[in-house]
């Protein structure tokens, strides 16, 4: 169904933006894709629609802006309701589990991954690597609990946690190559390896995940920009 008043302000490289697009694809909602250049000064639209954080993604529905990717996902799930593509489970306890693990990805796993990308010293990188690998093992356990033997965290279909973690797969691969390690390894996390393949190949996902070489190139530029900004504040 074509929606003329649905817009995503974001960038192809951002995993948080990818989350929103995957959710919209799952719900078969068409949207306008507005690209923000992360390496350039922030646009007027971004500053006006997200004055609090000035960050992408910003989701627009009938001119109402919504910020923070996991909040956007829940909004999308509540507005476009078809049981076939439900992002969060209907049972309150299962919903709380999904929210817990998505929060774990955002509050623990992603910051460690980011520290691994921008780590300035060997020591920083070593510590971050240990955290990231430790995190994947915790998530392997979570997968066992939530999937109940099925292909995804959400069971038969991709859900909230799949989208939260799966959106990071491109960056996980890029950062892994940079460190010359497989961050999601067959040895420590065999189920996650399999899940990653299933997720990446899913209809709603495959056109959203970026080309890894393009992302690696962007990653170098982003890292340089962040380190330069950090140097200026010290």
Partner 1 sequence: MAEEVVLLDFWPSPFGMRSRIALAEKGIKYEHKEEDLRNKSALLLQMNPVHKKIPVLIHNGKPVCESLIQVQYIDEVWHDKAPLLPSDPYQKATARFWADYVDKKIYEVGGRVWKTKGEKQATAKKELIETLKLLEKELGDKPYFGGESLGYVDVAFIPFYSWFYALEKCGNFSIEAECPKLIAWAKRCMQKESVAKSLPDQQKVYDFILEMKKHFGIE
Interacting residues toward partner 1 by CB under 8 A? 52, 61, 64, 66-68, 71-72, 74-75, 78-79, 92-93, 95-96, 99-100, 103-104, 138
C-alpha 17/C-alpha 23 separation (Å) is 10
CB of 68 to partner 1, least distance (A): 6
CB of 12 to partner 1, least distance (A): 24
Select from 57, 53, 47 the least CA-distant residue to 18. Answer: 57
**Helix/strand/coil percent split, the chain, to 5:** 60, 10, 35
C-beta closer to partner 1: residue 138 or 198: 138
CB of 82 to partner 1, least distance (A): 15
Cβ contact 209:200 at 8 Å: yes
Q: CA–CA distance from 206 to each of 10, 93, 113, 199, 230 (Å)? A: 18, 30, 22, 8, 35
C-beta closer to partner 1: residue 34 or 138: 138
CB of 97 to partner 1, least distance (A): 8
C-beta closer to partner 1: residue 12 or 74: 74
C-beta closer to partner 1: residue 105 or 168: 105
CB of 37 to partner 1, least distance (A): 25
C-beta closer to partner 1: residue 27 or 61: 61
CB of 122 to partner 1, least distance (A): 28
CB atoms within 10 A of CB 225: 13
C-beta closer to partner 1: residue 104 or 171: 104
Q: Angle, nearest 10°, between helix axes 110-118 and 122-147?
A: 150
CB within 8 Å of 65: residues ≥ 6 apart: 49, 50, 58, 59
C-alpha 47/C-alpha 105 separation (Å) is 26
C-beta closer to partner 1: residue 108 or 115: 108
CB of 73 to partner 1, least distance (A): 10
C-alpha 29/C-alpha 87 separation (Å) is 14
């Amino acid at each position: 169904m074509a929606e003329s008043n649905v817009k995503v302000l974001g960038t192809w490289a951002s995993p948080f933006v990818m989350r929103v697009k995957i959710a919209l694809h799952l719900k078969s909602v068409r949207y306008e894709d507005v690209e923000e250049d992360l390496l350039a000064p922030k646009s007027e639209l971004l500053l006006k629609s997200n004055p609090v954080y000035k960050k992408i993604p910003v989701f627009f529905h009938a001119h109402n802006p919504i910020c923070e990717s996991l909040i956007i996902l829940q909004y999308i799930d509540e507005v476009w309701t078809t049981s076939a593509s439900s992002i969060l489970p209907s049972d309150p306890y299962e919903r709380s589990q999904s929210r817990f693990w998505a929060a774990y990805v955002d509050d623990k796993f992603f910051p460690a991954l980011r520290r691994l990308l921008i780590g300035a010293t060997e020591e920083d990188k070593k510590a971050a690597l240990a955290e990231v690998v430790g995190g994947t093992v915790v998530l392997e356990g979570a997968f066992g609990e939530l999937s109940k033997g099925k292909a995804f965290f959400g069971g038969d279909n991709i859900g909230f946690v799949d989208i939260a973690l799966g959106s990071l797969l491109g960056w996980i691969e890029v950062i892994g190559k940079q460190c010359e390690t497989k961050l999601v390894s067959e040895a420590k996390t065999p189920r996650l390896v399999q899940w990653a393949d299933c997720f990446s190949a899913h209809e709603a996902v495959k056109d959203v995940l970026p080309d890894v070489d393009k992302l690696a190139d962007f990653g170098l530029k982003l890292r340089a920009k962040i380190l330069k900004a950090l140097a200026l504040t010290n």
